[in-house]
Amino acid sequence: MATLSDVARRAGVSPATASRVINGSSKPVTEELRERVLRAVAELQYVPNAHAQLLARSHRVAVGVIVHDVSDPYFAEITRGLQRVATDQGRLLTICNSYRDPDRELEYVELLRGQQVAAIILAGSGYHDAKFTRLLNEKLAAYEATGGRVAVIGRHEHSGDAVMPDNRAGGRLIGAELYELGHREIGVVAGPAVLTTTTDRLTGLRESLAAHGLSLPEHRVRHAEFDRDGGVAATAALLDADPGLTAIVALNDSMAIGALALLRSRSVPVPRQVSVIGFDDMPVARDVTPALTTVRLPLVEMGARAMSLALDPGAAAPRVEVLPAEVVRRDSTGPAPEITPVRPRAAGSGASAG
């Protein structure tokens, strides 16, 4: 491969002059020299060394994002918001999938730090793991000490800038919604117990049910992976153990879609016999049959706000932005069998309430 020195020799200029032309330096270069350098670049098919360019620049361009899995619709929507702001500010986005592996997250933080990215954004639930949390915060603090910026989405454990979806309030909204519809026999399709997002949503649901004099026994909560297949397996386990359930709460929409599939395979009518409610309001939620009632989080806005915080060095104190949740009522929920709801349903399948 041609080097910068090769280009300089071909153009008859110094390497410093060739570098200024190639890197778009603000230092003036005559038009005749600029044309000679660019002609040499084309003739030699020279490709600049990206790492060398990064070191030469006075500011960092790339931003590293660590998500659990960008193929998950939840993270795909968040990434849309991240990308929108990054593009507007001329930033390059590097996306790393941790696949909910804490050790891999730690490795990615080190790799991104080595790449001298301008900021690191961690999107996705934290873990109930004190050792991991301590190690992660140590690595992030070391990165911040070099001038890097950090923002997180949905994590309590980091003391810096954060965007927090109100997961606990969303759980409370679900409990109130099902109670008002007359449901008392409720099962929960929950994500992995090690994730703080699972705990937050489940805690909010328990709080709401307790406020209405109801309990949620442990045998009515089944933990599985936060995906469609996890929803299928957990729903099957719930119904096999307790066929009298009238409502299934899935703690994300992918699991809710799995619950709908399992109920359909068993010819259980939704919502006439069993209601299903999800969490997140992924784009597909309105297109499944029946359309999914869910708790909406502003996923794209969450990503956009996190990127804005990460790229804004102005604030001295950490900033935490809590984004609200709201119920979006569609066709997968209805009154409990043979029970009249406490209040009438809002007109239209897409009516929402916060």
Given a cut of 70, whether residue 353 has pLDDT beyond it is no
Q: Give bridge partners of residue 92 from the DSSP assignment.
A: 62
> Which tens digit of pLDDT belongs to each residue from 252-296?
999 999 999 999 999 999 999 999 999 999 999 999 999 999 999
Number of domains into which the chain is organized: 3
The pLDDT of residue 27 = 75
Residue 45, domain extent:
4-56
> Which tens digit of pLDDT belongs to each residue from 68-123?
999 999 999 999 999 999 999 989 999 999 999 999 999 999 999 988 899 999 99
CA 280/CA 293 separation, integer angstroms: 10
The pLDDT of residue 346 = 46
Residues 159 and 195 in one domain: no
Given a cut of 90, whether residue 249 has pLDDT beyond it is yes
The pLDDT of residue 52 = 56
The pLDDT of residue 158 = 80
In the predicted model, what is the mean pLDDT of residues 17-38? 82
Q: Measured between alpha carbons, how far is residue 190 from residues 228, 278, 329, 340 in Å?
A: 12, 11, 20, 28
Residues 66 and 154 in one domain: yes
CA 151/CA 119 separation, integer angstroms: 8
Residues 183 and 291 in one domain: yes
Write the CATH number for 272.
Answer: 3.40.50.2300
The pLDDT of residue 180 = 97
Residues 179 and 284 in one domain: yes
Average pLDDT over the chain, rounded to whole?
Answer: 90
Write the CATH number for 50.
Answer: 1.10.260.40
Beta-carbon neighbour count of residue 286 at 10 Å?
15
Span of 16-30, 168-182, 224-238 with lowest mean pLDDT: 16-30
pTM value is 0.80
Residues 38 and 137 in one domain: no
Residues 218 and 339 in one domain: yes
Residues 46 and 126 in one domain: no
> Which tens digit of pLDDT belongs to each residue from 286-322?
999 999 999 999 999 999 999 999 998 777 788 999 9
In the predicted model, what is the mean pLDDT of residues 325-341? 88
Single residue among 38, 56, 74 that ends a domain in this structure: 56
The pLDDT of residue 145 = 82
> Which tens digit of pLDDT belongs to each residue from 152-189?
999 988 878 999 999 999 999 999 999 999 999 999 99
Select from 122, 123, 102, 120 the least CA-distant residue to 111: 120
Residues 257 and 312 in one domain: no
